[in-house]
């Protein structure tokens, strides 16, 4: 039974573009057949506590004397890691907040990126290697090549680093830009570009969900 882990982090509950796109991904996934299940984690509705103890960054065997995280925090970390492990594909809504990640999503990353557990350290295990993850990033402005914002997107690159380079997951990126073109006067002239970006993103999430949900 192919299982999707559907994660959102936008603080906007009604008009969020990333929520609409991850929702479309999940809908396309479900439409592939009854066996296509979806597990939901909404990091804004049900935020995780910030990582309470640095010891959680290391597998228990790698911790130093005195690094003894709270049992409840360890249990939460184990639950979050198991949720990814149990999923065949992960889709993550990652809006740009202040050129970076929503803190709710960063907290999730801090729990699941663990030396010696999900990242090879003293042993070669890399349990998430090859697992597809689709990052859906919405942003008010544009950061395309040749624009003033070029090179200042600190939302997608850290996710590619952690999930792709470090955890070894197979990362796909879908971007919807200029989502504030309807709201901010200086961007109004770019409304057409915003619509094109949104349509292209919708097409990409449908194609990715159908492709990843039917691969053998
Ligand atoms: C707290 C906050 C910070 C933001 N910072 C940026 C930013 O640095 N650059 C940008 O282009 N848009 C920024 N925006 C606009 C959002 O990226 C944009 O509204 C996007 O569509 C949010 O995703 P959502 O539609 O899924 O909620 C910010 C919005 C919020 C609420």
b/e 155-192 (16+ beta carbons within 10 angstroms → b) = bbebbeebbbebbbbebbbbbbbbbbbeeeeebeebee
Radius of gyration of the chain (CA): 18
pLDDT confidence of residue 215: 82
Ligand 1 lined by 100 (C-beta under 6 Å): no
Which single residue is written with the structure tokens 């939901």? 40
Ligand 1 lined by 12 (C-beta under 6 Å): yes
- CA 83 – CA 39 distance, rounded (Å): 8
Question: Chain centroid to CA 6: how far?
Answer: 9
Which single residue is written with the structure tokens 């970390």? 77
pLDDT confidence of residue 9: 98
- Number of structural domains in the chain: 1
Query: Which of 95, 184, 205 is the best mutation target for the ligand 1 pocket, counting ligand atoms within 8 Å of the beta carbon and taking the most?
Result: 95
pLDDT confidence of residue 35: 93
Ligand 1 lined by 154 (C-beta under 6 Å): no
Ligand 1 lined by 39 (C-beta under 6 Å): no
- CA 136 – CA 124 distance, rounded (Å): 30
Ligand 1 lined by 155 (C-beta under 6 Å): no
Which single residue is written with the structure tokens 């409840």? 72
Sheet containing 132-138: which strands, arranged edge to edge? 37-42, 3-8, 89-93, 132-138, 170-176
- CA 216 – CA 213 distance, rounded (Å): 9
- CA 214 – CA 33 distance, rounded (Å): 10
Q: Are 9 and 107 in contact (CB under 8 A)?
A: no
Ligand 1 lined by 18 (C-beta under 6 Å): yes
Domain that holds residue 133: 3-214
Ligand 1 lined by 47 (C-beta under 6 Å): no
The tens place of each residue's pLDDT in the chain, 216 residues long, gives: 899 999 999 999 999 999 999 999 999 999 999 999 999 999 999 999 999 999 999 999 999 999 999 999 999 999 999 999 999 999 999 999 999 999 999 999 999 999 999 999 999 989 999 999 999 999 999 999 999 999 999 999 999 999 999 999 999 999 999 999 999 988 899 999 999 999 999 999 999 999 999 985
Residue 147 pairs in a beta bridge with none
Torsion angles phi and psi, residue 177, rounded to 5: -110, 170
Torsion angles phi and psi, residue 63, rounded to 5: -75, 150
CATH of the domain at 94: 3.40.50.360
Within a 10 A sphere around the Cβ of 121, how many other Cβ atoms?
A: 15
Q: Say how many Å lie between the CA of residue 97 and the centre of ligand 1.
A: 5
Protein residue closest via CA to atom 23 of ligand 1:
95
């Amino acid at each position: 039974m192919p299982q999707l882990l559907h994660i959102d982090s936008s603080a906007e509950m009604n008009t969020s573009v990333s929520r609409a796109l991850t929702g479309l991904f999940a809908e396309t996934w479900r439409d592939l057949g009854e066996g296509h299940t979806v597990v939901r984690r909404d990091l804004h509705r049900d935020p995780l506590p910030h990582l309470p103890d640095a010891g959680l960054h290391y597998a228990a065997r790698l911790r130093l004397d005195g690094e003894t995280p709270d049992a409840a925090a360890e249990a939460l970390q184990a639950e979050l890691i198991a949720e990814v492990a149990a999923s065949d594909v992960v889709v993550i809504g990652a809006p740009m907040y202040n050129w970076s990640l929503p803190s709710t999503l960063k907290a999730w990353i801090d729990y699941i990126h663990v030396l010696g557990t999900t990242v090879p350290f003293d042993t070669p295990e890399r349990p998430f290697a090859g697992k597809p993850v689709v990052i859906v990033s919405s942003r008010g402005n544009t950061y395309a090549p040749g624009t003033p914002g070029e090179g200042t997107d600190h939302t997608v690159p850290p996710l590619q680093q952690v999930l792709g380079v470090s955890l070894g997951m197979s990362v796909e990126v879908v971007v919807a830009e200029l989502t504030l073109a309807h709201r901010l006067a200086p961007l109004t002239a770019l409304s057409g570009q915003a619509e094109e970006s949104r349509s292209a993103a919708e097409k990409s999430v449908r194609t990715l969900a159908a492709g990843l949900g039917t691969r053998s």
